[in-house]
Structure 1
């Protein structure tokens, strides 16, 4: 049996300033460093190609700028949709990619491709069969640019579904996706968005590690939590006194404590009692000697 190295907590000096960075569990840091730079550069190239393609199809100059990618759940990606949208779902290697298009933008593309001005401000209606067909064809072409624009970083997508409802085949809570938003700059700004299965991205980046056992993941998380800085305090049993006693206190007065002299003090962790200890010393500093465990906070 392999012995595990025990986690050792670091003791911080009194008054030491700790720099603690918050961790966003809604957007875990699965991709970082050069892999993140490589991915964002590839998706930025796809955004530029998208702008050129929309410009050629609609005969209206369009510039698509992409924001840095982020990892989030598929459910969060769906919830971030602003207004009516179209969803194009495609098979991408061993996973899926979902392309989100504002309905108003799809209507604009269709109108321009049919020779109209595309100016339909305030129009709120479903797409006609012709508009839907043109929008589907445009989404297929946009997704097809993923592979060449990213220099084969992403595999060739194969469109599976297109409509006004997000795909039900993707687990909204468990599936993590890499999301990149592209802003169309042409008068009124609208935002396209792309969500790619994170497993596909990690595999293409060569950053895939063997799948960890659930117990191993739990052990590792517990280890990280054990290293997180926390505040501990040594506490006497509480003593109740009246307001008159407090108001009459003067230098040199004694307050009898309800804590018996032979009873250990309580060590608290962020206010929760976890251990019992006796007062001790460590060089020129006060310390405590743990004498009994309370079993941890409930």
Structure 2
């Protein structure tokens, strides 16, 4: 016979406001505290170095600003791309890095590197072989700076794939640390973004937790769920009446309920029936006495 875990409810005063923080499962909080500050400082340093490289290559001053990193799946990162972009896939110490730049930004880099003004508006046409080669060179150098700018936090990435279509080899369900670098050149704003395998980042930060047994994980999740606040209510069996009955109700009228007098009421948690109970009291408050936790039929 399996021993049942005793049910413990956390009681809150009626009308009390519960301080419950929403959790975004699409952007889980895998990194926090000092580790988050250290990571964001390293990625900000990389963003500044990327800006210096762009300025040096194009001979046009560009200002950069790096947004705080966030956790996002590779699939969501790919889906968030706006307009034609270039994708560069690199590996670093066994982890994947996906780097994304606007196609017109790459075209501008290439134009400036061969002495053109780079002011002509792009028509979304594919890059020429020369533009593609120059853009690949610039992206390779920017990714290489990830190791130096972050003080060796990451191993030097090795470029694996480069093109206008997102790589099929990337696991889109895997989590990544996303860093967005905003650039401003005169009145032209662009966004470069890199998604770094979250497992790689956690390893480099030394924040990887030891492998946990699946049974232990389920037990801990169950413990968290047991402490989650829920609404508890006592419910009669529903009674169906016509609209005319409701419209004719007046003070003192009685409504016969379908619930039999000798039948226990139903205890619900967030609207879901879980127990049978009878009406009782606790001092000056109404209460219920659990009479059965069997099948609710």
**Which deviates further from its counterpart, 270-279 or 131-140?**
270-279
The runs of 5 or more residues in structure 1 that have no matched partner are none
Question: How far did residue 11 of structure 1 move?
Answer: 1.6
**What residue number does 2:139 align with?**
139
Using a 3 Å threshold, how does the CA distance of structure 1 residues 94 and 9 change in structure 2: closer, same or farther? Answer: farther
What does residue range 149-228 of structure 1 map to in structure 2 within 5 Å? 149-173=149-173, 175-186=174-185, 187-228=187-228
Contact 2:183–2:190 (Cα < 8 Å) also in 1: yes
Deviations 1:42-84 (A, max 9, x none): 1011111111110011000011211110111110011011111
What does residue range 239-250 of structure 1 map to in structure 2 within 5 Å? 239-250=239-250
Question: How far did residue 211 of structure 1 move?
Answer: 2.1
The runs of 5 or more residues in structure 2 that have no matched partner are none
**What residue number does 2:61 align with?**
61
**Number of aligned residues:** 294
Contact 1:239–1:258 (Cα < 8 Å) also in 2: yes
Deviations 1:1-52 (A, max 9, x none): xx9x978442211111012221111100001111111111110111111111
Q: Secondary structure, in 3 states, of the residue corresponding to 2:130?
A: helix
Question: How far did residue 153 of structure 1 move?
Answer: 1.6
Separation (CA, whole Å) in 2 of partners of 1:242 and 1:122: 68
Question: How far did residue 150 of structure 1 move?
Answer: 0.9
Separation (CA, whole Å) in 1 of partners of 2:252 and 2:32: 60
Using a 3 Å threshold, how does the CA distance of structure 1 residues 33 and 115 change in structure 2: closer, same or farther? Answer: same
**What residue number does 1:116 align with?**
116
Separation (CA, whole Å) in 2 of partners of 1:7 and 1:189: 57
Separation (CA, whole Å) in 1 of partners of 2:7 and 2:194: 40
Q: Secondary structure, in 3 states, of the residue corresponding to 1:182?
A: strand
Using a 3 Å threshold, how does the CA distance of structure 1 residues 125 and 234 change in structure 2: closer, same or farther? Answer: same
Contact 2:104–2:122 (Cα < 8 Å) also in 1: no
TM-score normalized with structure 1 length: 0.92
Q: Secondary structure, in 3 states, of the residue corresponding to 2:188?
A: coil
Using a 3 Å threshold, how does the CA distance of structure 1 residues 119 and 243 change in structure 2: closer, same or farther? Answer: closer
**Which deviates further from its counterpart, 125-134 or 256-265?**
256-265
Contact 1:7–1:227 (Cα < 8 Å) also in 2: no
Contact 1:179–1:193 (Cα < 8 Å) also in 2: yes
Separation (CA, whole Å) in 2 of partners of 1:236 and 1:149: 66
**What residue number does 2:81 align with?**
81
1:51 pairs with 2:14? no
Question: How far did residue 94 of structure 1 move?
Answer: 2.1
**Which deviates further from its counterpart, 236-245 or 263-272?**
236-245
TM-score normalized with structure 2 length: 0.92
Separation (CA, whole Å) in 2 of partners of 1:7 and 1:217: 20
**What residue number does 2:91 align with?**
91
